[in-house]
Structure 1
Protein backbone atom coordinates (compact mmCIF):
# COMPACT_ATOMS: atom_id res chain seq x y z
CA UNK A 1 0.00 0.00 0.00
CA UNK A 2 1.31 3.44 -0.93
CA UNK A 3 2.41 5.73 1.87
CA UNK A 4 0.59 9.05 1.60
CA UNK A 5 2.07 12.43 2.48
CA UNK A 6 -0.12 15.49 2.93
CA UNK A 7 1.12 19.06 3.30
CA UNK A 8 -1.43 21.67 4.39
CA UNK A 9 -4.04 20.94 7.05
CA UNK A 10 -6.40 23.87 6.65
CA UNK A 11 -10.20 23.83 6.38
CA UNK A 12 -10.17 21.58 3.33
CA UNK A 13 -6.99 19.59 3.90
CA UNK A 14 -7.97 18.35 7.33
CA UNK A 15 -11.24 16.86 6.08
CA UNK A 16 -9.53 15.27 3.07
CA UNK A 17 -6.96 13.62 5.35
CA UNK A 18 -9.70 12.27 7.61
CA UNK A 19 -11.46 10.72 4.63
CA UNK A 20 -8.20 9.11 3.56
CA UNK A 21 -7.69 7.65 7.03
CA UNK A 22 -11.30 6.42 7.15
CA UNK A 23 -10.39 4.39 4.09
CA UNK A 24 -7.45 2.79 5.93
CA UNK A 25 -4.75 4.89 4.29
CA UNK A 26 -1.65 5.77 6.30
CA UNK A 27 -1.06 9.53 6.10
CA UNK A 28 2.05 11.53 6.97
CA UNK A 29 1.27 15.20 7.64
CA UNK A 30 3.00 18.56 7.72
CA UNK A 31 1.63 22.04 8.30
CA UNK A 32 3.43 25.32 8.78
CA UNK A 33 1.66 25.69 12.13
CA UNK A 34 2.25 22.35 13.82
CA UNK A 35 -0.58 22.72 16.34
CA UNK A 36 -3.08 22.54 13.46
CA UNK A 37 -2.11 18.89 12.99
CA UNK A 38 -2.42 17.84 16.64
CA UNK A 39 -5.93 16.43 16.30
CA UNK A 40 -4.98 14.52 13.13
CA UNK A 41 -1.95 13.02 14.85
CA UNK A 42 -4.17 11.98 17.76
CA UNK A 43 -6.38 10.24 15.19
CA UNK A 44 -3.48 8.32 13.65
CA UNK A 45 -1.64 10.60 11.23
CA UNK A 46 2.15 10.85 11.52
CA UNK A 47 3.85 14.24 11.84
CA UNK A 48 7.00 15.20 9.91
CA UNK A 49 8.70 18.53 10.40
CA UNK A 50 9.42 19.63 6.80
CA UNK A 51 7.96 19.10 3.32
CA UNK A 52 11.26 17.40 2.43
CA UNK A 53 10.80 14.92 5.27
CA UNK A 54 7.23 14.23 4.15
CA UNK A 55 8.46 13.55 0.62
CA UNK A 56 11.19 11.21 1.84
CA UNK A 57 8.71 9.19 3.92
CA UNK A 58 5.91 9.01 1.34
CA UNK A 59 5.21 7.54 -2.10
CA UNK A 60 2.45 9.95 -3.14
CA UNK A 61 2.68 13.49 -1.80
CA UNK A 62 -0.36 15.78 -1.75
CA UNK A 63 -0.11 19.53 -1.21
CA UNK A 64 -2.96 21.90 -0.38
CA UNK A 65 -1.85 25.37 0.68
CA UNK A 66 -3.16 28.89 0.24
CA UNK A 67 -1.46 30.81 -2.54
CA UNK A 68 0.84 30.13 -5.50
CA UNK A 69 3.72 31.61 -3.49
CA UNK A 70 3.05 29.00 -0.78
CA UNK A 71 3.07 26.24 -3.39
CA UNK A 72 6.37 27.53 -4.78
CA UNK A 73 7.92 27.46 -1.31
CA UNK A 74 6.65 24.00 -0.40
CA UNK A 75 8.13 22.52 -3.56
CA UNK A 76 11.25 24.57 -4.25
CA UNK A 77 12.68 26.08 -1.04
CA UNK A 78 15.61 24.64 0.94
CA UNK A 79 13.39 22.27 2.97
CA UNK A 80 10.96 21.70 0.12
CA UNK A 81 9.72 18.59 -1.62
CA UNK A 82 12.27 18.76 -4.43
CA UNK A 83 15.12 18.51 -1.91
CA UNK A 84 14.13 14.86 -1.36
CA UNK A 85 14.86 11.89 -3.60
CA UNK A 86 11.60 11.63 -5.54
CA UNK A 87 12.54 8.82 -7.90
CA UNK A 88 9.36 6.95 -8.85
CA UNK A 89 7.14 9.12 -6.65
CA UNK A 90 4.09 11.23 -7.54
CA UNK A 91 3.36 14.75 -6.30
CA UNK A 92 -0.22 16.00 -6.43
CA UNK A 93 -1.02 19.68 -5.90
CA UNK A 94 -4.63 20.19 -4.80
CA UNK A 95 -4.13 23.94 -4.38
CA UNK A 96 -5.87 26.25 -6.82
CA UNK A 97 -2.79 27.82 -8.36
CA UNK A 98 -1.49 29.03 -11.71
CA UNK A 99 -1.22 26.81 -14.78
CA UNK A 100 2.32 28.14 -15.27
CA UNK A 101 3.41 26.93 -11.82
CA UNK A 102 1.78 23.54 -12.44
CA UNK A 103 3.85 23.21 -15.61
CA UNK A 104 7.01 24.22 -13.71
CA UNK A 105 6.39 21.58 -11.03
CA UNK A 106 5.73 18.91 -13.66
CA UNK A 107 8.91 19.78 -15.55
CA UNK A 108 11.03 19.63 -12.39
CA UNK A 109 9.39 16.37 -11.33
CA UNK A 110 10.24 14.79 -14.67
CA UNK A 111 13.85 15.95 -14.33
CA UNK A 112 14.22 14.11 -11.01
CA UNK A 113 12.44 10.92 -12.06
CA UNK A 114 9.06 11.71 -10.55
CA UNK A 115 5.59 12.56 -11.84
CA UNK A 116 3.25 15.45 -11.04
CA UNK A 117 -0.48 16.07 -11.18
CA UNK A 118 -2.18 19.42 -10.74
CA UNK A 119 -5.55 18.55 -9.20
CA UNK A 120 -7.46 21.54 -7.80
CA UNK A 121 -10.80 20.74 -6.20
CA UNK A 122 -14.26 22.26 -5.95
CA UNK A 123 -16.98 21.66 -3.40
CA UNK A 124 -15.94 23.69 -0.38
CA UNK A 125 -15.72 22.55 3.20
CA UNK A 126 -18.88 20.47 2.97
CA UNK A 127 -17.59 18.61 -0.07
CA UNK A 128 -14.33 17.91 1.73
CA UNK A 129 -16.12 16.65 4.86
CA UNK A 130 -18.57 14.51 2.91
CA UNK A 131 -15.99 13.12 0.48
CA UNK A 132 -17.85 14.54 -2.51
CA UNK A 133 -15.32 16.96 -4.00
CA UNK A 134 -14.91 17.52 -7.71
CA UNK A 135 -11.27 17.01 -8.72
CA UNK A 136 -9.92 18.56 -11.94
CA UNK A 137 -6.66 16.97 -13.02
CA UNK A 138 -3.77 17.77 -15.34
CA UNK A 139 -0.88 15.38 -15.94
CA UNK A 140 -0.14 11.96 -17.42
CA UNK A 141 -2.61 9.09 -17.63
CA UNK A 142 -0.49 6.56 -15.74
CA UNK A 143 -0.06 8.82 -12.70
CA UNK A 144 -3.75 9.69 -12.77
CA UNK A 145 -4.68 6.01 -12.81
CA UNK A 146 -2.32 5.36 -9.88
CA UNK A 147 -3.77 8.16 -7.75
CA UNK A 148 -7.43 7.63 -8.73
CA UNK A 149 -8.21 5.19 -5.88
CA UNK A 150 -7.02 7.86 -3.44
CA UNK A 151 -9.05 10.57 -5.18
CA UNK A 152 -12.08 8.34 -4.65
CA UNK A 153 -11.64 8.56 -0.86
CA UNK A 154 -12.46 12.27 -0.86
CA UNK A 155 -14.06 13.01 -4.22
CA UNK A 156 -17.14 12.08 -6.22
CA UNK A 157 -16.31 13.57 -9.62
CA UNK A 158 -12.84 13.35 -11.18
CA UNK A 159 -11.47 13.74 -14.66
CA UNK A 160 -8.10 14.05 -16.39
CA UNK A 161 -8.27 17.10 -18.66
CA UNK A 162 -4.89 16.85 -20.35
CA UNK A 163 -1.26 17.68 -19.69
CA UNK A 164 0.23 19.66 -16.79
CA UNK A 165 -1.68 22.88 -16.13
CA UNK A 166 -4.97 21.69 -17.61
CA UNK A 167 -6.36 20.91 -14.17
CA UNK A 168 -5.72 24.50 -13.14
CA UNK A 169 -7.30 25.83 -16.35
CA UNK A 170 -10.39 23.72 -15.63
CA UNK A 171 -10.56 25.13 -12.09
CA UNK A 172 -10.37 28.64 -13.52
CA UNK A 173 -13.38 27.86 -15.71
CA UNK A 174 -15.13 26.59 -12.57
CA UNK A 175 -14.35 29.78 -10.66
CA UNK A 176 -15.65 31.96 -13.49
CA UNK A 177 -18.98 30.18 -13.09
CA UNK A 178 -18.90 30.49 -9.29
CA UNK A 179 -18.28 34.24 -9.60
CA UNK A 180 -21.57 34.45 -11.46
CA UNK A 181 -23.56 32.23 -9.12
CA UNK A 182 -22.32 33.97 -5.97
CA UNK A 183 -23.06 37.47 -7.24
CA UNK A 184 -26.42 36.26 -8.55
CA UNK A 185 -27.32 34.62 -5.24
CA UNK A 186 -26.39 37.75 -3.32
CA UNK A 187 -28.34 40.19 -5.47
CA UNK A 188 -31.32 37.82 -5.60
CA UNK A 189 -31.54 37.75 -1.80
CA UNK A 190 -31.06 41.50 -1.49
CA UNK A 191 -33.81 42.15 -4.04
CA UNK A 192 -36.21 39.55 -2.66
CA UNK A 193 -35.83 40.90 0.87
CA UNK A 194 -36.34 44.50 -0.26
CA UNK A 195 -39.63 43.53 -1.93
CA UNK A 196 -41.00 41.91 1.21
CA UNK A 197 -40.67 38.28 0.20
CA UNK A 198 -40.00 35.49 2.70
CA UNK A 199 -36.48 34.42 1.86
CA UNK A 200 -36.82 30.80 2.98
CA UNK A 201 -39.71 30.42 0.54
CA UNK A 202 -37.77 32.15 -2.20
CA UNK A 203 -34.79 29.81 -1.78
CA UNK A 204 -37.05 26.77 -1.97
CA UNK A 205 -38.93 28.03 -5.03
CA UNK A 206 -35.94 29.33 -6.98
CA UNK A 207 -34.00 26.19 -6.11
CA UNK A 208 -36.67 24.10 -7.81
CA UNK A 209 -36.44 25.91 -11.12
CA UNK A 210 -33.96 26.80 -13.83
CA UNK A 211 -31.96 29.04 -11.47
CA UNK A 212 -31.02 26.10 -9.23
CA UNK A 213 -27.27 25.88 -8.56
CA UNK A 214 -24.75 24.72 -5.96
CA UNK A 215 -24.17 28.20 -4.49
CA UNK A 216 -27.90 28.71 -4.02
CA UNK A 217 -28.51 25.42 -2.22
CA UNK A 218 -25.36 25.46 -0.09
CA UNK A 219 -24.76 29.13 0.70
CA UNK A 220 -28.30 30.52 0.62
CA UNK A 221 -29.30 28.78 3.88
CA UNK A 222 -26.03 29.83 5.52
CA UNK A 223 -26.73 33.48 4.72
CA UNK A 224 -30.21 33.25 6.25
CA UNK A 225 -28.61 31.80 9.40
CA UNK A 226 -26.05 34.65 9.32
CA UNK A 227 -23.32 32.02 9.12
CA UNK A 228 -20.29 33.48 7.37
CA UNK A 229 -17.70 30.97 8.50
CA UNK A 230 -15.43 30.03 5.62
CA UNK A 231 -16.17 27.02 3.52
CA UNK A 232 -13.97 28.95 1.13
CA UNK A 233 -12.16 32.13 2.16
CA UNK A 234 -12.88 35.45 0.46
CA UNK A 235 -9.12 36.06 0.18
CA UNK A 236 -8.62 32.77 -1.65
CA UNK A 237 -11.51 33.45 -4.02
CA UNK A 238 -9.99 36.81 -4.93
CA UNK A 239 -6.72 35.00 -5.63
CA UNK A 240 -8.50 32.56 -7.92
CA UNK A 241 -10.37 35.26 -9.82
CA UNK A 242 -7.18 37.22 -10.36
CA UNK A 243 -5.47 34.12 -11.75
CA UNK A 244 -8.41 33.60 -14.11
CA UNK A 245 -8.29 37.22 -15.26
CA UNK A 246 -4.52 37.01 -15.79
CA UNK A 247 -4.93 33.87 -17.89
CA UNK A 248 -7.73 35.50 -19.88
CA UNK A 249 -5.55 38.54 -20.51
CA UNK A 250 -2.88 36.28 -22.03
CA UNK A 251 -5.58 35.07 -24.44
CA UNK A 252 -6.77 38.63 -25.16
CA UNK A 253 -10.13 37.52 -23.79
CA UNK A 254 -12.31 40.12 -22.02
CA UNK A 255 -14.29 38.83 -19.03
CA UNK A 256 -16.25 41.86 -17.79
CA UNK A 257 -18.59 39.98 -15.44
CA UNK A 258 -15.67 38.28 -13.71
CA UNK A 259 -13.86 41.61 -13.49
CA UNK A 260 -16.86 43.12 -11.72
CA UNK A 261 -17.17 40.16 -9.35
CA UNK A 262 -13.49 40.54 -8.48
CA UNK A 263 -13.99 44.22 -7.70
CA UNK A 264 -16.93 43.40 -5.43
CA UNK A 265 -14.96 40.80 -3.49
CA UNK A 266 -11.99 43.16 -3.21
CA UNK A 267 -14.35 45.76 -1.72
CA UNK A 268 -15.51 43.14 0.77
CA UNK A 269 -11.92 42.32 1.72
CA UNK A 270 -11.14 46.02 2.10
CA UNK A 271 -13.90 46.21 4.69
CA UNK A 272 -12.11 43.57 6.77
CA UNK A 273 -13.97 40.44 5.68
CA UNK A 274 -11.20 38.63 3.78
CA UNK A 275 -11.26 35.71 6.22
CA UNK A 276 -15.00 35.20 5.94
CA UNK A 277 -16.56 32.70 3.58
CA UNK A 278 -17.53 33.78 0.08
CA UNK A 279 -21.20 33.98 1.11
CA UNK A 280 -20.22 37.11 3.09
CA UNK A 281 -20.49 39.11 -0.14
CA UNK A 282 -23.96 40.10 1.06
CA UNK A 283 -22.28 42.22 3.75
CA UNK A 284 -21.79 44.86 1.05
CA UNK A 285 -25.58 45.34 1.28
CA UNK A 286 -26.57 44.02 4.70
CA UNK A 287 -24.68 45.54 7.64
CA UNK A 288 -22.61 42.80 9.29
CA UNK A 289 -24.55 40.30 7.21
CA UNK A 290 -27.75 40.77 9.21
CA UNK A 291 -30.94 40.58 7.20
CA UNK A 292 -32.65 43.99 7.38
CA UNK A 293 -36.33 44.19 8.20
CA UNK A 294 -38.10 44.88 4.92
CA UNK A 295 -40.65 47.65 4.70
CA UNK A 296 -42.91 46.08 2.07
Structure 2
Protein backbone atom coordinates (compact mmCIF):
# COMPACT_ATOMS: atom_id res chain seq x y z
CA UNK A 1 0.00 0.00 0.00
CA UNK A 2 1.23 3.49 -0.87
CA UNK A 3 0.55 6.22 1.68
CA UNK A 4 1.74 9.75 2.34
CA UNK A 5 3.55 8.94 5.57
CA UNK A 6 6.14 6.51 4.21
CA UNK A 7 6.27 7.23 0.48
CA UNK A 8 8.76 9.45 -1.29
CA UNK A 9 7.76 10.09 -4.89
CA UNK A 10 10.36 10.91 -7.50
CA UNK A 11 9.49 12.76 -10.70
CA UNK A 12 11.85 13.07 -13.66
CA UNK A 13 10.97 15.53 -16.42
CA UNK A 14 9.34 18.83 -15.47
CA UNK A 15 8.49 20.22 -18.89
CA UNK A 16 5.21 21.45 -20.35
CA UNK A 17 3.20 18.55 -18.90
CA UNK A 18 5.47 17.07 -16.25
CA UNK A 19 5.57 20.25 -14.20
CA UNK A 20 1.79 20.24 -13.71
CA UNK A 21 1.66 16.49 -13.10
CA UNK A 22 4.36 16.61 -10.43
CA UNK A 23 2.59 19.57 -8.87
CA UNK A 24 -0.60 17.57 -8.36
CA UNK A 25 1.32 14.89 -6.45
CA UNK A 26 2.97 17.54 -4.29
CA UNK A 27 -0.37 19.19 -3.53
CA UNK A 28 -1.74 15.78 -2.56
CA UNK A 29 0.68 15.83 0.36
CA UNK A 30 3.42 13.49 -0.82
CA UNK A 31 7.12 14.12 -0.33
CA UNK A 32 8.39 14.90 -3.81
CA UNK A 33 11.88 14.61 -5.21
CA UNK A 34 12.43 16.04 -8.70
CA UNK A 35 15.08 15.88 -11.39
CA UNK A 36 15.22 17.59 -14.76
CA UNK A 37 18.12 18.25 -17.11
CA UNK A 38 17.30 21.95 -16.78
CA UNK A 39 16.89 22.78 -13.10
CA UNK A 40 15.16 26.08 -13.91
CA UNK A 41 12.15 24.12 -15.21
CA UNK A 42 11.63 22.74 -11.71
CA UNK A 43 11.88 26.13 -9.98
CA UNK A 44 8.16 26.43 -9.26
CA UNK A 45 8.02 22.93 -7.79
CA UNK A 46 11.08 23.58 -5.63
CA UNK A 47 9.55 26.80 -4.34
CA UNK A 48 6.43 24.83 -3.45
CA UNK A 49 8.32 22.32 -1.32
CA UNK A 50 9.75 19.70 -3.64
CA UNK A 51 13.36 18.62 -3.13
CA UNK A 52 16.00 18.51 -5.86
CA UNK A 53 17.88 15.38 -6.92
CA UNK A 54 21.16 15.92 -8.75
CA UNK A 55 20.74 12.83 -10.95
CA UNK A 56 18.38 9.94 -11.71
CA UNK A 57 20.70 7.80 -9.58
CA UNK A 58 20.27 9.99 -6.52
CA UNK A 59 16.51 10.12 -7.06
CA UNK A 60 16.24 6.34 -7.48
CA UNK A 61 18.12 5.71 -4.23
CA UNK A 62 15.58 7.73 -2.23
CA UNK A 63 12.19 7.38 -3.95
CA UNK A 64 10.02 4.27 -3.68
CA UNK A 65 7.76 5.45 -6.51
CA UNK A 66 9.23 7.17 -9.58
CA UNK A 67 7.37 8.87 -12.42
CA UNK A 68 9.11 9.81 -15.64
CA UNK A 69 7.92 12.20 -18.33
CA UNK A 70 10.81 12.86 -20.70
CA UNK A 71 11.15 13.56 -24.40
CA UNK A 72 12.30 10.68 -26.59
CA UNK A 73 12.83 6.90 -26.37
CA UNK A 74 16.57 7.56 -26.17
CA UNK A 75 15.95 9.69 -23.07
CA UNK A 76 13.79 6.95 -21.55
CA UNK A 77 16.49 4.37 -22.24
CA UNK A 78 19.18 6.51 -20.63
CA UNK A 79 17.09 7.36 -17.57
CA UNK A 80 16.08 3.75 -16.94
CA UNK A 81 18.86 1.57 -18.32
CA UNK A 82 21.93 3.82 -18.18
CA UNK A 83 24.86 3.36 -15.82
CA UNK A 84 23.44 6.03 -13.50
CA UNK A 85 19.85 5.11 -14.31
CA UNK A 86 16.84 4.16 -12.28
CA UNK A 87 16.89 0.39 -12.57
CA UNK A 88 20.49 -0.09 -11.48
CA UNK A 89 19.98 2.12 -8.42
CA UNK A 90 16.28 1.71 -7.65
CA UNK A 91 14.90 0.48 -4.34
CA UNK A 92 13.77 -3.18 -4.33
CA UNK A 93 10.00 -3.36 -4.23
CA UNK A 94 9.70 0.10 -5.76
CA UNK A 95 7.49 1.24 -8.62
CA UNK A 96 8.58 2.94 -11.83
CA UNK A 97 5.89 4.57 -13.98
CA UNK A 98 6.96 5.86 -17.37
CA UNK A 99 4.43 8.32 -18.76
CA UNK A 100 6.52 9.29 -21.77
CA UNK A 101 5.22 8.23 -25.16
CA UNK A 102 7.88 5.73 -26.14
CA UNK A 103 8.43 2.48 -28.05
CA UNK A 104 6.44 -0.54 -26.86
CA UNK A 105 9.52 -2.75 -27.25
CA UNK A 106 11.48 -0.46 -24.92
CA UNK A 107 8.70 -0.64 -22.34
CA UNK A 108 9.01 -4.44 -22.39
CA UNK A 109 12.81 -4.24 -21.96
CA UNK A 110 12.44 -1.89 -18.99
CA UNK A 111 9.84 -4.15 -17.41
CA UNK A 112 12.07 -7.21 -17.77
CA UNK A 113 15.19 -5.49 -16.41
CA UNK A 114 13.22 -4.00 -13.51
CA UNK A 115 11.68 -7.35 -12.62
CA UNK A 116 15.15 -8.89 -12.29
CA UNK A 117 15.81 -6.36 -9.52
CA UNK A 118 12.43 -6.81 -7.81
CA UNK A 119 11.13 -3.49 -9.14
CA UNK A 120 7.71 -3.01 -10.70
CA UNK A 121 7.71 -1.15 -14.04
CA UNK A 122 4.58 0.23 -15.67
CA UNK A 123 4.25 1.98 -19.02
CA UNK A 124 1.53 4.60 -18.68
CA UNK A 125 1.58 7.18 -21.48
CA UNK A 126 -1.03 9.91 -21.41
CA UNK A 127 -3.23 11.98 -23.68
CA UNK A 128 -4.79 15.37 -23.01
CA UNK A 129 -1.94 17.81 -23.58
CA UNK A 130 -1.06 20.75 -21.38
CA UNK A 131 -4.71 21.43 -20.53
CA UNK A 132 -5.30 17.87 -19.36
CA UNK A 133 -2.11 17.97 -17.30
CA UNK A 134 -3.01 21.27 -15.63
CA UNK A 135 -6.57 20.19 -14.85
CA UNK A 136 -5.58 16.65 -13.79
CA UNK A 137 -7.90 15.27 -16.48
CA UNK A 138 -5.44 13.21 -18.48
CA UNK A 139 -6.34 9.97 -20.17
CA UNK A 140 -3.88 7.38 -18.86
CA UNK A 141 -3.33 4.08 -20.66
CA UNK A 142 -1.31 1.54 -18.70
CA UNK A 143 0.59 -1.66 -19.39
CA UNK A 144 2.35 -3.96 -16.93
CA UNK A 145 1.42 -6.40 -14.20
CA UNK A 146 -2.16 -5.87 -13.01
CA UNK A 147 -1.25 -5.99 -9.31
CA UNK A 148 1.36 -3.26 -9.77
CA UNK A 149 -1.13 -1.13 -11.68
CA UNK A 150 -3.72 -1.56 -8.94
CA UNK A 151 -1.18 -0.48 -6.34
CA UNK A 152 -0.26 2.78 -8.06
CA UNK A 153 -3.73 3.59 -9.40
CA UNK A 154 -4.52 5.91 -6.44
CA UNK A 155 -1.55 8.04 -7.49
CA UNK A 156 -2.61 8.04 -11.13
CA UNK A 157 -5.99 9.36 -10.02
CA UNK A 158 -4.30 12.61 -8.98
CA UNK A 159 -3.25 13.04 -12.62
CA UNK A 160 -6.12 11.81 -14.75
CA UNK A 161 -9.80 10.97 -14.93
CA UNK A 162 -9.78 8.23 -17.57
CA UNK A 163 -7.41 5.56 -16.32
CA UNK A 164 -7.51 2.24 -18.16
CA UNK A 165 -5.40 -0.86 -17.65
CA UNK A 166 -4.65 -2.12 -21.17
CA UNK A 167 -2.74 -5.32 -20.47
CA UNK A 168 0.78 -6.71 -20.46
CA UNK A 169 3.99 -4.63 -20.53
CA UNK A 170 4.03 -2.46 -23.66
CA UNK A 171 0.24 -2.42 -23.96
CA UNK A 172 0.05 1.15 -22.69
CA UNK A 173 2.46 2.30 -25.37
CA UNK A 174 0.63 0.38 -28.10
CA UNK A 175 -2.60 2.06 -27.00
CA UNK A 176 -0.93 5.47 -27.17
CA UNK A 177 0.09 4.68 -30.74
CA UNK A 178 -3.60 4.12 -31.53
CA UNK A 179 -4.27 7.53 -29.98
CA UNK A 180 -1.60 9.27 -32.04
CA UNK A 181 -2.70 7.59 -35.27
CA UNK A 182 -6.24 8.86 -34.71
CA UNK A 183 -5.04 12.37 -33.91
CA UNK A 184 -2.68 12.59 -36.90
CA UNK A 185 -5.31 12.34 -39.63
CA UNK A 186 -7.84 14.25 -37.54
CA UNK A 187 -5.49 17.25 -37.31
CA UNK A 188 -5.38 17.42 -41.10
CA UNK A 189 -9.17 17.46 -41.17
CA UNK A 190 -9.40 20.14 -38.50
CA UNK A 191 -7.00 22.42 -40.35
CA UNK A 192 -8.63 21.88 -43.73
CA UNK A 193 -12.06 22.60 -42.25
CA UNK A 194 -10.90 25.90 -40.76
CA UNK A 195 -9.10 26.98 -43.93
CA UNK A 196 -12.17 26.04 -46.00
CA UNK A 197 -14.39 28.13 -43.73
CA UNK A 198 -12.09 31.12 -44.14
CA UNK A 199 -11.92 30.81 -47.92
CA UNK A 200 -15.70 30.47 -48.12
CA UNK A 201 -16.06 33.79 -46.34
CA UNK A 202 -17.57 32.27 -43.20
CA UNK A 203 -16.91 33.28 -39.62
CA UNK A 204 -14.71 30.38 -38.41
CA UNK A 205 -15.72 30.91 -34.77
CA UNK A 206 -19.36 30.49 -35.71
CA UNK A 207 -18.53 27.44 -37.81
CA UNK A 208 -16.89 25.87 -34.77
CA UNK A 209 -20.08 26.44 -32.76
CA UNK A 210 -21.92 24.25 -35.24
CA UNK A 211 -19.44 21.49 -35.94
CA UNK A 212 -17.71 20.85 -32.59
CA UNK A 213 -20.84 19.31 -31.07
CA UNK A 214 -21.90 17.30 -34.11
CA UNK A 215 -20.54 14.20 -35.78
CA UNK A 216 -17.28 16.03 -36.63
CA UNK A 217 -16.55 16.77 -32.98
CA UNK A 218 -13.14 15.90 -31.55
CA UNK A 219 -10.79 17.05 -28.81
CA UNK A 220 -8.53 18.70 -31.39
CA UNK A 221 -11.44 20.54 -33.00
CA UNK A 222 -12.70 21.86 -29.66
CA UNK A 223 -9.36 22.68 -28.04
CA UNK A 224 -6.85 23.35 -30.81
CA UNK A 225 -8.91 24.98 -33.57
CA UNK A 226 -9.60 28.05 -31.36
CA UNK A 227 -5.86 28.36 -30.73
CA UNK A 228 -5.24 28.31 -34.49
CA UNK A 229 -7.74 31.14 -35.01
CA UNK A 230 -6.17 33.16 -32.19
CA UNK A 231 -2.69 32.74 -33.66
CA UNK A 232 -1.63 30.84 -30.54
CA UNK A 233 0.91 28.22 -31.55
CA UNK A 234 2.53 27.75 -28.14
CA UNK A 235 3.14 24.08 -27.39
CA UNK A 236 0.62 22.09 -25.46
CA UNK A 237 2.40 19.28 -27.25
CA UNK A 238 5.49 19.89 -29.38
CA UNK A 239 5.53 19.15 -33.10
CA UNK A 240 8.96 17.57 -32.67
CA UNK A 241 7.54 15.11 -30.14
CA UNK A 242 4.52 14.35 -32.31
CA UNK A 243 6.85 13.52 -35.20
CA UNK A 244 8.69 11.17 -32.86
CA UNK A 245 5.42 9.48 -31.92
CA UNK A 246 4.33 9.10 -35.53
CA UNK A 247 7.67 7.54 -36.41
CA UNK A 248 7.26 4.99 -33.61
CA UNK A 249 3.73 4.18 -34.80
CA UNK A 250 4.87 3.80 -38.41
CA UNK A 251 7.69 1.47 -37.37
CA UNK A 252 5.33 -0.64 -35.26
CA UNK A 253 2.79 -0.78 -38.10
CA UNK A 254 5.51 -1.91 -40.52
CA UNK A 255 6.49 -4.70 -38.13
CA UNK A 256 2.86 -5.84 -38.16
CA UNK A 257 2.61 -5.63 -41.94
CA UNK A 258 0.08 -2.81 -41.79
CA UNK A 259 -0.18 0.16 -44.15
CA UNK A 260 -0.92 3.56 -42.58
CA UNK A 261 -1.40 6.05 -45.45
CA UNK A 262 -3.21 8.63 -43.32
CA UNK A 263 -0.45 8.59 -40.72
CA UNK A 264 2.24 8.79 -43.41
CA UNK A 265 0.61 11.87 -44.94
CA UNK A 266 0.31 13.62 -41.58
CA UNK A 267 3.94 12.91 -40.73
CA UNK A 268 5.08 14.27 -44.11
CA UNK A 269 3.24 17.55 -43.48
CA UNK A 270 4.64 17.89 -39.97
CA UNK A 271 8.13 17.05 -41.25
CA UNK A 272 7.86 19.99 -43.63
CA UNK A 273 6.86 22.32 -40.80
CA UNK A 274 9.77 21.12 -38.67
CA UNK A 275 12.16 21.77 -41.57
CA UNK A 276 10.89 25.36 -41.54
CA UNK A 277 11.67 25.83 -37.86
CA UNK A 278 8.33 24.86 -36.30
CA UNK A 279 9.55 21.87 -34.30
CA UNK A 280 9.06 23.66 -30.99
CA UNK A 281 5.59 24.92 -31.90
CA UNK A 282 2.41 23.19 -30.77
CA UNK A 283 0.80 20.62 -33.02
CA UNK A 284 -1.92 23.15 -33.94
CA UNK A 285 0.75 24.95 -36.00
CA UNK A 286 -0.13 22.50 -38.78
CA UNK A 287 -2.57 25.29 -39.70
CA UNK A 288 0.46 27.21 -41.00
CA UNK A 289 1.00 24.63 -43.74
CA UNK A 290 -1.95 26.15 -45.61
CA UNK A 291 -1.17 29.75 -44.63
CA UNK A 292 2.48 29.90 -45.68
TM-score range (shorter-chain normalised) is: over 0.9
Scaled by the length of structure 2, what TM-score is found?
0.97
Cα offsets for 1:161-206 (capped at 9, x unmatched): 1110000000000001101221110011111111111000011111
Corresponding position of 2:251: 246
1:217 equivalent to 2:217? Answer: no
In 2, distance between residues paired with 1:254 and 1:181? 17
1:269 corresponds to 2:277? no
What is the match of residue 149 of structure 1? 154
Out of 126, 138, 150, the position equivalent to 1:133 is 138
Shift of 1:78: 2.1
Using the size of structure 1 for normalisation, the TM-score is 0.95
1:111 maps onto 2:116 in alignment: yes
Please state how far the C-alpha of 1:123 moved relative to its aligned partner.
0.1
Deviation of 1:86 after TM superposition, in Å, equals: 2.7
Q: Secondary structure at the match of 2:250?
A: helix
1:191 corresponds to which of 179, 196, 215: 196
Out of 60, 63, 71, the residue aligned to residue 65 of structure 2 is 60
Q: Deviations over 1:75-128 (max 9, x none)?
A: 122221123143100111000000000000000001011110000000000000
5+ residue gaps, structure 1, are: 288-296
Q: How many residues align?
A: 287
Runs (4+) of structure 1 exceeding 4 A deviation are none
Aligned position for 2:106? 101
Q: Paired residue for 1:291?
A: none
Aligned to 2:232: 227
Matched residues in 2 for 1:145 and 1:26: separation?
A: 21
Match of 1:179 among 173, 179, 184: 184
Unaligned runs of 5+ in 2: none
**Post-superposition CA distance 1:8-62 (Å, at most 9, x none):** 0000000001111221122110001112112210111110101011111111111
> 2 CA distance for matches of 1:86 and 1:180?
42
